[in-house]
Amino acid sequence: MFDNLAVLKFLFDTVELGKKWPEQKELTEKFLENVKQIFGLDEVLMKEVSPNRESLEPSEEYVINTGKVYIDNRLSSYSAFPELINLYNSGYKSVAIFPITADNKPVGILKMLSKSEERFSQDILDALSLGVYIFSHQIISRSERERARSLAKYFDASFEAIVPQALVETSGKIVKANKSMLNLFSKSSLEFVGRSISEFFNIDGNMLASLGRGITAEVNAPNGRVFFVSVNMVNNRLMHVTFLDITEKKELAERLNVISNSSLEFIFELDKDTKVVWLSENAEKVLPQAGLMLGQKLINLVNEKDKLNAQLQKDSFTDKFTLNLGNNTSNEVKLSLIATEKGYLGLISDNKLERYVQGLSSNFNELLQNTSDMIIVTNELGYIKEVNKSVEQLLGYKLDDLAGKDISLLYGNEGKDSIRKAIEIARGEGVARSIFANLISRTGEEVPAYQTISRIIDERGNISG
């Protein structure tokens, strides 16, 4: 019979270890060492159990699935599990395998080995079972504490990132937001925390909670920006939400879509050896023999080879070249290239046509500047290209203030939808009916105005603004 004093010492030491060693690693090492010394065992091992129970041996699976201790006091070549036969072949005669659980949750496996037969008597098992029970709860408490620490470190590091992020309850209430999120809406933490996420994006707590791990959704903010949102559940009530601004990417996609249907310019791709590997579908609308470029090196297609070689040393460039596509056909083109991971992405436009369009534009601009009406010229997406002198006189803006900005900037909240709808109608039908809307001057004053929106068509029938 095992000495009762030894049992009491073992249990007392187990409790004291929990007080003395706050970290899980040190606590585990000391507990295993204590078990080995007090019970005179040859080896004591512990294995953590992952949620998917990877790398468990059959005997360990049995212990986890049944929740019972497995004992074999006479290891032999006939033992029930293959790994126990391996232990016998390594010189061990007795084994006890304990499940470590807390709140019915498997945490690990404790395996005790002896080179003596009949080493694990009932009184030893009783003492060990009670000690393992105490130890398992100590492990669980430290595991939860270290998980909380890891989460805190993760959020502290993550919240330093430039991407807007927030901790949001499943109810939609904002618990915490990083500086990027606060700066996005020009809010202080006090103004932001405690409010509903739906006040800032067109999504609520239930919709966020429904997003699975790795799934993103597209959401809009009242300031007109567009975001991809992704969610990681911290627990069943709290979510870590990340917002990635994709506004410029969407605008670029729209512009590329416009270009790919244009008869003025086309997109192409080169590999790192400057061989043409792809052309947009509209390439032969711009240059009738553009298809002959495929598979050829760009350097072999231009007359100005030295100039192209010099330009290719840059990350990006725009320059004029003479492009030869065979049959004694040459084309004056404007070539733009930008370096990518795979090679280059390029844009080619017919330079003769561009000069013609520029001439038309010059005459058009001269006409615009001599009228007393305010005239604003945008591209086909509604981004401002030109304004006349009347805009400067009546609204206080110069072209430098507005160039490249969305025309809706000049309208109040009620007018933004009206101008957007009018541009869509003009793009499709030519002329939109006149609308009445207040323009916003540089000083913030409202300027009432009747407006007519018309599209501009170039000589090839493409919308240029």
The residues spanned by each domain of the chain are: 4-152, 159-245, 250-354, 371-451
Q: Tokens 């310019």 belong to which residue?
A: 265
Which of 198, 237, 234 shows the shortest CA–CA distance to 213? 234
CATH 3.30.450.20 assigned to 159-245: yes
DSSP 8-class letter at 81: S
Residue 336, H or E segment = strand 330-339
What is the C-alpha radius of gyration for the chain, rounded to an integer number of angstroms?
37
3 state SS of 295: coil
> What are the backbone angles phi and psi of residue 276, rounded to the nearest 5°?
-75, 115
Partners of 344 in the beta sheet?
Answer: 270, 339
Residue 194 and residue 174 in contact, taking contact as beta carbons nearer than 8 Å = yes
CATH 3.30.450.20 assigned to 371-451: yes
Q: How far apart are CA 375 and CA 397, in angstroms?
A: 12
pLDDT reported for residue 96: 92
pLDDT reported for residue 360: 41
Which of 443, 437, 439, 438 shows the shortest CA–CA distance to 396? 443
Which of 304, 245, 256 shows the shortest CA–CA distance to 280? 256
pLDDT reported for residue 115: 94
Q: How far apart are CA 58 and CA 451, in angstroms?
A: 80
Q: How far apart are CA 139 and CA 464, in angstroms?
A: 69
> What are the backbone angles phi and psi of residue 24, rounded to the nearest 5°?
-60, -40
Q: How far apart are CA 140 and CA 147, in angstroms?
A: 10
Long-range contacts from 217-225, C-beta under 8 angstroms, 24+ separation: 218/246, 219/243, 221/184, 221/185, 223/184, 223/185, 224/406, 224/408, 225/184
Same fold, 4-152 and 371-451: yes
Residue 373 and residue 449 in contact, taking contact as beta carbons nearer than 8 Å = no
H helices within 269-350, ranges in order?
A: 283-286, 305-311
Partners of 438 in the beta sheet?
Answer: 448
Q: Six-digit token pair at 70? A: 């497995």
Burial of 66 (0-12, 13-18, 19+ CB in 10 A): exposed
Q: How far apart are CA 110 and CA 181, in angstroms?
A: 47
Around 428, how many Cα atoms within 13 Å sit in the side-chain half-sphere? 6
pLDDT reported for residue 158: 59
**CATH class name, domain 250-354:** alpha beta
Q: How far apart are CA 451 and CA 73, in angstroms?
A: 95
pLDDT reported for residue 105: 72
Which of 406, 407, 464, 461 shows the shortest CA–CA distance to 439? 407
pLDDT reported for residue 94: 93
Q: How far apart are CA 170 and CA 189, in angstroms?
A: 20
CATH topology of domain 4-152: Beta-Lactamase (3.30.450)
Please list the pLDDT of the chain residue by residue as tens digits (465 residues). Answer: 456 666 677 777 777 777 776 677 787 888 888 888 888 899 998 888 766 667 788 998 898 888 889 999 999 999 889 999 999 999 999 999 988 876 677 778 889 999 999 998 888 888 888 888 888 777 776 666 666 555 556 665 656 667 788 888 888 888 888 888 888 888 888 888 889 988 888 888 888 878 756 567 788 887 778 888 888 877 778 888 888 887 766 665 566 666 666 667 788 888 888 888 888 877 888 888 888 888 889 999 999 999 999 988 887 788 888 888 876 777 888 888 887 777 888 888 776 545 544 444 444 455 455 555 677 888 777 788 888 777 888 888 888 888 888 888 888 777 787 787 777 777 666 555 567 778 888 888 887 776 777 666 554 555 655
Residues whose CB falls within 8 Å of the CB of residue 45, separated by 6 or more in sequence, listed in order: 32, 110, 111, 112, 113
